[in-house]
Amino acid sequence: MVRKMGIYAVLAYVIYGLFFYWYLFYFADTKLPFEYQGSKADPATFLNGRELMLSEEYSKIRNLLFFLSTPFEWLFYFVILLFGFSRAFKRWAESTSKYKLLQTAIYLIWLSFFAYVATFPLSYISYSLSKTYHISTQTFPSWMKDELIDFWINYGTWLIIVPVIYWLMKKSKRWWFYAWLLSIPFTLFMMFLQPVVIDPLYNDFYPLKNKELETKILTMADKAHIPAKHVFEVNMAEKTNSMNAYVTGIGSNARIVLWDTTLNQLSDRQILFIMAHEMCHYVEKHIYFGIAGYLLLSLLGLYLANRIMDWAIKRWGTELKIPEKRDIRSLPLFLMIISFLMFAASPFTNLISRYEESRADNYAIHMTKDPEAAITSFQELTKSGLSQVNPPLLVKIFRYDHPSMLDRISMLEEYEIKHRKQIK
């Protein structure tokens, strides 16, 4: 029975992978609708032939890696349970220490290590791909440093969360609700900590060096009633050629951040449009709506995880080597279910995010009234990241938390046409 379940799981993953390979490379049509051909949203108007070819190649492979990565995580956790590795991790932990907390920490380090080793090939392929297409400029030692930082941050986070969850499981059948209540202050604390503790582990952040540009940005922020004193830049040129800007943190630790690649590759007018976009997220409190939405979804997720775990252990507990839910050996099952639920929820969360990003684009163009700078900034972003202007439907649904460049540039073109009519 165990062997059959393992074979079926691997076979399902292979069929799933072949489907997405066929969908992305043979079925999906990324050509622009006829009415957009020749417009400013048409990549043929701002990319040369080689760039067009590279953007299609890179996007297809990157999208395939995305669709392969998350289900591979499910397959890994399933195999860990099916072949008794989770039971072995617990046995090794118990033979190493007599203290429960230390046993949990040892179990987690074994599980984290095996997960890292299993997923490393896909991570390295993704890194190598971005190097091949000249998106990444990061050296291998620098990339490995970031990978190890990720590993220890994830391990430290789970070292806090897992003992609490399993303690609650032993105390109450409504553990999922109490775990959710505790997750609220923890989430807010981590969001507050992110800009000043976690992000600087990866890169150096400092106030914008271009004081003339900073003055323009702060003047615009003042008009929007944003009490900003600084705009931060981060040194990303040593890692990537792509561009980005974002809002991070909450409360007094909230920051607007610009990558130095954005500063190096865009004009002041283009940067002001991007900054106006980021200011909208602050003005319309998108960060706080995002936190509220995340917490609501996490409540539903924990409830469903509890129900699914009960059902799975009752039906396949013997095959999965899980005697009961409260046993630490059930952790891979819990992580697999949470990962699946997050993937299943991504179309909804991406839809909400695309709506907020669309509002931010509208806010930015009405604030700056500079459609040329806005359109060319999106064209440059497309070029630097070799992005698809019109991604396949499933890619857009599961992967895009921003509107496609076709949607964004065509909206700006409509504004530009209306603006010209108003001037006349």
Nearest 5°: the CA angle 378, 397, 257 is 40
Q: What's the confidence (pLDDT) of residue 284? A: 87
CA–CA separation, 233 and 207 (whole Å): 6
371-385 helix and 405-423 helix, angle to the nearest 10 degrees: 160
Q: What's the confidence (pLDDT) of residue 209? A: 86
Which residues neighbour 304 within 8 Å (Cβ) at sequence distance 6 or greater? 337, 341
pLDDT of 404 > 80? The answer is: yes
CA–CA separation, 77 and 13 (whole Å): 13
**b/e sequence 206-224, b meaning 16+ C-beta within 10 Å:** eebeeeebbebbbebbeee
Checking 32-37 for CB contacts under 8 A at 24+ apart, the result is 32/389, 32/390, 32/406, 36/406, 36/410
pLDDT of 423 > 70? The answer is: no
Tens of pLDDT, residue by residue over 254-312, are 678 889 999 999 999 999 999 899 889 888 888 889 889 999 999 999 999 999 999 99
Does the annotation mark 372 as catalytic?
no
Average pLDDT estimate for 60-69: 95
Q: What's the confidence (pLDDT) of residue 211? A: 86
Q: What's the confidence (pLDDT) of residue 422? A: 61
Q: Is 357 annotated as a binding residue?
A: yes
Q: Which residue has the higher pLDDT, 318 or 144?
A: 144
CA–CA separation, 226 and 311 (whole Å): 50
Q: Is 281 annotated as a binding residue?
A: yes
Choosing from 327, 361, 370, 407, the catalytic residue is 361
Average pLDDT value over all residues in the chain: 90
Q: What's the confidence (pLDDT) of residue 419? A: 73
Q: What is the pTM of this model?
A: 0.90
pLDDT of 2 > 80? The answer is: no
Q: What's the confidence (pLDDT) of residue 421? A: 61
CA–CA separation, 131 and 138 (whole Å): 8
Does the annotation mark 146 as catalytic?
no
Q: What's the confidence (pLDDT) of residue 98? A: 84
CA–CA separation, 246 and 410 (whole Å): 22
Q: Is 73 annotated as a binding residue?
A: no
CA–CA separation, 388 and 406 (whole Å): 9
Which residues neighbour 287 within 8 Å (Cβ) at sequence distance 6 or greater? 191, 247, 250, 254, 281
Choosing from 278, 327, 356, 407, the catalytic residue is 278
